[in-house]
Structure formats: structure tokens, C-alpha cells
Amino acid sequence: MCKTYSLYIKISCILLLCVAIFSKSQAQQVGLEIDFFGYADNREYSAEYTIPKTFFGATLSPQLYFQLEENHRVYGGIHFNQEFGIHKENKSRINPIAYYNYKNQNFDFALGFIPRYERLKEIPRLVLADTFMYDRPNVQGMYFNYKNSNFQQTVFIDWLSKQSHQNREQFVVGISGKYTINNFYVKNDGLLYHNALTSNDSIDEHIQDNAVIMLRLGADLSHKTILDSLTIDAGAVVGFDRVRTEYDMRKAPGFIANVHLGYRRFFLENTLYLGKALNLPNGDPFYHRKSYDRLDLGWVPFRTDRIEGKFTASFHFSPGYVDNQQMFTLRYNFGRTLWN
């Protein structure tokens, strides 16, 4: 294992030990949370801008928390990820978990190395590609969410790269929200990607800005049919793309529609996009074309409060191509109070 990973392990172990010792003497409550994520994602792609690849591996994420005051917690732990078939070019990935969290009935605020999945799993693939769940399990920055009985809104900033002599400053700022009125709802999602310069003035570089905003109107008809769930929504998408000193801001409007049907352990989802090609470095590359349709057929063989296994067969229809994808995911969540 390389020196960087060894350092991560040492720092994480020291952090967990300090949390445990300090929490025992000062905290109102100490707890343990463990998340296991296993995945097999085979992508048979031939369309432009896409990469055929198989993601096959597992991530184990243990973390301790201590609560000094009501609604205030500090978390410490690690994500340990390994794709199967290990060799010198496919090493283990270790990422620290270390963040402060204030959470009550309406607010959820976090600052630090924040596990991504639970907080951002509802963001559409057009805005944020699902490969981030494999390769970048943390949001490194800040997260804020407000919700009540019929409204919720999330804002987050994820710092991708700090400026150096060889590396650009890069970050994304995202929003995601939903407003519900009886059986109808309005959803908004968006992301700004800023790719700035390095500190090396001798390199010919240009600042890049990419953004997307999406607004959808929908209806939840789950209780009006024999299906367990039925939702339909449609709306507008606008993409923005600019490389400063190279070309001015370019706009790419489009239309998007989604349908989800669920019955017992089976589900069907379909997403249709029509419009101009979107240049979104952090979004799903299939939207880099004027038309795209995705059909998902799924089966959930088991689901409880702590564990879910899901199989999905996906078909991607783009001009001149029909691609396919098979994915199985298993997620297990465990949590308990160690000391109170």
C-alpha cells in the first residue's frame, strides 16, 4: 500500500481513538454506524462520449460519532473501497470521514468530509453522474438542507481540487429541492462547476464554467392505481458552458420527462431528453447529444430497514446506438448507541 493510504489509515485510526476517548468522558452519547456497499455495474457502451467499463467492488464505511450537546455531533471514520481483481494499477482507496453535523426536525447542516450517498442520492444523473458514488464517496465541503411537511431544499459545495503549481482549483455548487401540493410537486435541481487556473503563470490556461438548471412539474399517483408507486414529471433543462477568453456563454435548452412505476418488488423507470447537447463535466455523458432515452427495468429481491439488494437492467437509446447496462447493488446500514 502506498504512503498516502498508510497515512490515511494512521490519521483515521488516531481520529477514531481520540473520538472514543474524548467522547467517553465528555459526550452525552457515543454511537457507531457502519455502511456496506457492494456493487456490480457492467456498462456495454458504444455511443460517443461514453466509456464501456465494469465497476465491480465493495466499500466498507465504519464511523463513530459523539454528541456533546443536543442536535450537535462530530463524526470520524473511513471509507475503504476495493474493486475486485486487485493489481498494482487497481489499488485500494481509503477516504477519511470527518465532519460536524447539526441536525433537528427541520435542519441538516454538515461541514467536513461528508458521506455522499444518503444526502445526494436523489439528484438526477443529468446533474450529477452516478459514478461519483463509486469513485468519490464524500462531499468535501459543506451541506445544508431545510425541510418541513411539504417543502425541502438542499444546497451544497464540494471542493474537488485545491489550487497548486500543477493542479487547478475546482469546485461544484449544487441545489436540489421539492415542493409538494397534495398529489402534485415541483422539483428543482442544478449544479455549477468552476474549473479555475493553477498557480503556474507560465501555462496557457483558460477558466471554464459549466452549469445546468432543471425545473420539473410532477404528480404522485401512487394511491390512485393498483400500483405501489406511480410518479410522472416533466420540465425544462438549461445548460450553460463557457471557456473564458475562448468563447462566451453558450446556452443549451432542453425538455426532460420521467416516469416511475413500482409494483411489489419490481419497478420500471423511463427518462426522455430532447434538446441541445449538454456539456456537463459532472453529469451523465449520455446527455451530450440532442436526444436520449433511458429505460430501467428493476427487481428488488430483498429490502428491510437495514438492507436492500437491487438489480437493474438499463437500456440507453441515443441517435444511431442502443446500449445496455446491468447493475446489482447491495447496501447494508447498521447503527447503534455504544454509550449514553
13 close to 6: Cβ distance less than 8 angstroms: no
Note the pTM of the prediction, 2 decimals.
0.89
- Summarised one tens digit per residue, pLDDT across range 16-45 is 566 555 555 555 788 999 999 999 999 999
Q: Mean pLDDT over residues 203-219, rounded?
A: 92
Q: Say which residue, 68 or 177, is predicted with more confidence.
A: 177
CATH code for position 253: 2.40.160.100
pLDDT at 222: 92
- How far does Cα 327 stand from its chain's mean position? 17
Work out how many domains the chain is built from and give that number. Answer: 1
Cα torsion 16, 19, 21, 24: sign: negative
Tens digit of pLDDT for each residue in 141-153?
999 999 999 999 9
Give the domain extent around 168: 3-339
pLDDT value of residue 202: 72
pLDDT at 219 over 60: yes
One-letter amino acid for residue 129 of the chain: A
The residue with greater pLDDT, 121 or 207, is 121
Residue 305: what pLDDT?
A: 87
Where do we find the cell 465528555? 26
pLDDT for residue 1: 47
* CA atoms of 29 and 14, how far apart (whole Å): 20
Look up residue 286 and give its amino acid: F
Per the CB < 8 A criterion, the answer to whether 25 and 69 are in contact is no
| Mean pLDDT estimate for the chain | 90
What is residue 6's three-state secondary structure?
helix
Q: Quick one: how far is CA 52 from the chain centroid?
A: 20
- Tens of pLDDT, residue by residue over 271-319, are 999 999 999 999 999 999 999 999 999 999 989 989 999 999 999 999 9
